[in-house]
């Protein structure tokens, strides 16, 4: 049975783990050729093998998209290898929350560089190819940006993470308006607590604070978010799911 994305190419950042990896698997199952982008080459190779074993196709592009100039090169390499780009999923991100007086400025810069600037640069490089892709085939192309509930509600000790995710959400809506008439759909997905490595990046005090706050919550799985992303990009051309909030059922 043919997949809904047969013949199309998707580029997924942050593909070495979590939501990015789960999304790559889901899009490959729908028939897309998936370009896997992240720093950890070994993880990407393992994921590509898993996708191939399931009958899908993946290409590995190990790169640190937080470095200036790298996102443009990654997009150029993907298009050169596959001949087109139809879907961009910006899933790379880091969460380094903690007390503002205690955490170093370098952690704030790391969040801004990866969560926001890398997303902007990758999207900027991809847009001409997405506009071109939308002129044929499905008649539409997609950008899906992974924001967070933290992009809707600010909280103490998470100010910079909040700032990056508020930025992703605002950028996504502005871009959606700009490219709607060019048939490039721009969607933002805002998950609540997801069972990923993201929580492990934080300072111990921040991890303990979150654990207490979410002690009675059953976390979402990365696959839950990946299924929503696949749903977004496989809708008919006339349907744009501009903003999708996904919360754990029992999170108040």
- Asked, for residue 4, whether it belongs to a domain, the answer is no
The structure tokens 């998950």 sit at 191
The answer to the question of residue 251 being in a domain is no
34 forms beta bridges with 10, 58
Residue 161 annotated as catalytic: yes
- pLDDT tens for each residue of 123-143: 999 999 999 999 998 999 999
Does residue 157 belong to any structural domain of this protein? Answer: yes
pLDDT of residue 252: 65
| Domain enclosing residue 141, as ranges | 9-245
Reported pTM: 0.95
Per-residue model confidence as pLDDT tens digits over 170-208: 999 999 999 999 999 999 999 999 987 776 777 777 777
SS3 98: coil
User: Is 3 among the domain residues?
Assistant: no
Q: Is residue 2 part of a domain?
A: no
What is the CATH classification number for the domain harbouring 186?
3.40.50.720
* H-only helix segments in 7-112: 18-29, 41-53, 70-82, 105-111
The answer to whether residue 1 is domain-embedded is no
The answer to whether residue 92 sits within a structural domain is yes
- Tell me the average confidence (pLDDT) per consecutive run of 10 residues in the chain, 252 residues long: 87 97 98 98 98 98 98 98 98 94 96 98 98 96 97 93 98 98 98 82 73 80 98 98 96 72
Active-site choice (161, 166, 171, 179)? 161
Question: What's the total number of domains in the chain?
Answer: 1
């Amino acid at each position: 049975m043919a997949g809904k994305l047969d013949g199309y190419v998707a580029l997924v950042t942050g593909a070495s783990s979590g939501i990015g990896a789960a999304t790559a698997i889901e899009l490959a199952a729908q028939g897309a050729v998936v370009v896997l982008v992240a720093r950890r080459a070994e993880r990407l190779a393992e994921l590509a093998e898993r996708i191939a074993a399931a009958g899908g196709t993946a290409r590995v592009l190990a790169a640190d998209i937080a470095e200036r100039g790298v996102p443009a090169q990654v997009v150029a390499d993907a298009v050169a290898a596959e001949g087109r780009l139809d879907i961009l999923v910006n899933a790379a991100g880091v969460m380094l929350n903690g007390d503002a007086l205690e955490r170093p400025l370098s952690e704030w810069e790391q969040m801004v560089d990866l969560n926001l600037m890398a997303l902007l640069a990758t999207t900027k490089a991809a847009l001409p190819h997405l506009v071109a892709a939308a002129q044929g085939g499905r008649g539409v192309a997609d950008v899906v940006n992974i924001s967070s509930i933290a992009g809707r509600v600010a909280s103490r000790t998470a100010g910079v993470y909040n700032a990056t995710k508020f930025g992703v959400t605002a950028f996504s809506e502005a871009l959606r308006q700009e490219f709607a008439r060019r048939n490039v759909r721009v969607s933002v997905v805002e998950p609540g607590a997801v069972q990923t490595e993201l929580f492990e990046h934080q300072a111990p005090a921040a991890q303990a604070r979150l654990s207490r706050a979410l002690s009675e919550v059953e976390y979402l799985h990365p696959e839950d978010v990946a299924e929503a992303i696949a749903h977004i990009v496989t809708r008919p051309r006339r349907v744009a799911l501009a903003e999708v909030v996904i919360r754990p059922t029992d999170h108040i």
